[in-house]
Amino acid sequence: MVNNAGISVEAEDPQPVWEISNAKWEKQHSVNSHGVFYGVRAAAAQMVKQDPLAGGDRGWIINLASIYGMVGSPMAGKLFC
């Protein structure tokens, strides 16, 4: 299972971090945190039901995260000032 999704509310309306509303932050945090938790919970529940492979593994969970990954943004410096 690979967790590789999330939202970035500031991408909708780029602005300095001190101007981002609590509602936008809470939406982003809720989607990104709950999405990872629910995904891991479902994957782990399935993995413990499976017979182990030869090495004893029942599966793998990989979590990925990135901010602007390989591509920058003109607002990147302003968001993190």
The model's pLDDT over 39-81, given as tens digits with 9 standing for 90+, comes to 899 999 999 999 998 888 998 888 776 665 555 555 544 444 3
Regarding pTM above 0.85, the answer is: no
> How many domains does the chain fold into?
1
The pLDDT of residue 72 is 53
Domain interval for residue 66: 2-79
Question: Which residue, among 26, 25, 29, has the nearest Cα to 15 in the 3D structure?
Answer: 25
